[in-house]
A and B are shown apart, each in its own frame.
Chain A
Amino acid sequence: MESFLFYAFAALVVISALAMILSRNLVHSALYMAAAFLGMAFVYLLLRADYIAVVQILVYVGAISILFVFGIMLTKRDRMDGSNGFNRYGIIAGLVGLALFALLARAVTVAGASRAAPPADVPQAPAGGSAVAISNLFLGQLALPLEASALLLLAALAGAVVIGKGREKSKC
């Protein structure tokens, strides 16, 4: 059951990622990207990382892809066919992709070899889900990094406002 679900969701991720790249229509690409994010959330759920899954849905599917689609729809005025064409960097992109794949494959094999065999019984999610453990970490041991990233995001937010406002042309 578990592995069947995994293959179903993995297929969803891979197919929608491929469709995202191959689709000629930019809006379709963005929507396929949302589908791929959603598939990843399901995979996280299967791994019993329910907090990561919910953040994946909330941030990636619910906010980032919507902003993508929003931006594309607002900026493009003419017809969308062929808006996501191919360019001349196929070979370089292929090389970068292969290098990344090799890196990931190496990481997976090393991690798989160094770790002991997974326990026979599937570990049950702790009561309250992984959210409890993560929030304890965030507000205890990792409080400083959390605050630092919050400061970084605040700076980004202020920067976005400044850039978005543009030069002082009209007072409004």
Chain B
Amino acid sequence: MQTLNDLFLIVSGLLRGAMGSWGFAPGLTDAIMALVSFVAIAALVTVNIIVILWVDRRFAAFFQERLGPNRVGPFGLLQSINDAVKLIGKESIMPAAVDKRVYKFAPVLIFTVTIVLYGFLPYGKGLAPIDMGAGLLFFVAVSSTSTIAILMAGWGSNNKYSLLGGMRTVAQVISYEIPLAFSMIGVVMLSGSMNLGSISAAQHTLWNIILQPIAFFVFIVASLAELTRSPFDMTEAEQELIAGYHTEYSGMRFALFFMAEYANLFSVAALGATLFLGGWEGPLLPGYLWFIGKTWAMVLVILWLRWSFPRARVDKMMKFNWKVLIPLSIANILLTGVGIKLYQYFSTVGR
């Protein structure tokens, strides 16, 4: 069981040992190991996107009492692969009046940010590709840079609907970043660390969702807005803005935006699972399986919310953020601080 748990650590140890015996310099070994983990992350991202796409469509169909894609392969499992091949094969049309450099670079940038985010996640004990002291803060910081890519896409397209979609996205994402970050502070206070691995380990006995129910609620709502998913998907409200910031994109460039959206869904769900559901902590099964399982539970909750609520109005959404979510998350921080101090006081008095 222990070998299974440490499977990836053992493999990486063997690789390092082999490279050491071939006489590689330590710097070269590190570089090659970084490349290996990059390839692993890229594979994980690709597989995840294909699976999430299929699950999203089947899940939506289930909610609307229809079948969804069920023709290609068993249960329609190969439908997403079909679609991916179709998107790659499509012609990538570039309108004449776009700002060429900005227009071309935006999809690349948004997907780069997405892949970097996967690097911070703790897939198991000691299995975080980028293991930093302030890992949680880095995750938030890096994810905030994707708004630049969205703004580039919206402005570079030289289309008023794209620009409006981009503007809405930026206003929404920047505002909802505040409650999202504040909801994490309670968790950080409880575990006394901003390292995602230590946060998982601190939930060995009790998951944070029990101690931090308000923070979990704020986190879910704010991450829905961060992902610009329904009920907060005004950025690509089809009835108003055609498709928002990626209206003018087609072919592989559109596919990059599309894939980044689903990949972000998984990484935010994984962050939620790490912060509130104990990450890789769990009995019997190896840690990475627990991590993937909890993440998928979070993904299903987000999809479930998508099909349960209609789209909110722009001004109501902003009001809800500034007048409900932010005060709520600040109150949660205060409550957590008082609670921790009371707990410390009574646990010393009892002794």
| Pair A73/B155 contact, Cβ less than 8 Å | yes
Is B61 part of the binding interface, using a Cβ–Cβ cutoff of 8 Å? no
Given A1-B27, A31-B102, A31-B152, decide whether A50 and B144 contact each other with a Cβ distance below 8 A. no
Contact of B155 among A27, A34, A127, A128 (CB under 8 A): A27
Given A51-B134, A66-B174, decide whether A128 and B195 contact each other with a Cβ distance below 8 A. yes
| Pair B167/A70 contact, Cβ less than 8 Å | yes
Q: Mark B121-155, 1 if CB is under 8 A from A, else 0.
A: 00000000000111001101110110110011001
Is B170 part of the binding interface, using a Cβ–Cβ cutoff of 8 Å? yes
Contact of B133 among A55, A61, A125 (CB under 8 A): A125
| Pair A57/B145 contact, Cβ less than 8 Å | yes
B93 to chain A, nearest CB (A): 22
B38 to chain A, nearest CB (A): 16
The CB with the most chain A CB atoms within 10 A, among B134, B144, B155, B174, is that of: B134
Q: Which of A101-131 contact B (CB under 8 A)?
A: 125-131
Q: Which of B157-178 contact A (CB under 8 A)?
A: 163, 167, 170, 174, 177
Interface range for A = 20 to 34
Closest to B31 in A: A1
Is B193 part of the binding interface, using a Cβ–Cβ cutoff of 8 Å? yes
| Pair B138/A54 contact, Cβ less than 8 Å | yes
Contact of B134 among A61, A69, A131 (CB under 8 A): A131
Write out the residue numbers on chain A whose beta carbons fall within 8 Å of the beta carbon of B27: 1
Write out the residue numbers on chain A whose beta carbons fall within 8 Å of the beta carbon of B152: 31
Q: Mark A33-77, 1 if CB is under 8 A from B, else 0.
A: 010001000000000001100110110011101100110011000
| Pair A50/B151 contact, Cβ less than 8 Å | no
Is B117 part of the binding interface, using a Cβ–Cβ cutoff of 8 Å? no
Contact of A58 among B133, B140, B170 (CB under 8 A): B140
B109 to chain A, nearest CB (A): 10
Q: How far is the CA of A27 from the CA of B101 in the complex (A)?
A: 12
Q: List 30 A-B contacts (CB under 8 A).
A: A1-B30, A1-B31, A28-B101, A31-B148, A38-B145, A50-B133, A50-B134, A50-B138, A54-B137, A54-B141, A55-B141, A57-B142, A57-B145, A58-B141, A61-B145, A61-B148, A62-B145, A63-B144, A65-B148, A66-B151, A70-B151, A70-B167, A73-B151, A73-B155, A80-B99, A126-B133, A128-B133, A128-B194, A129-B134, A131-B194
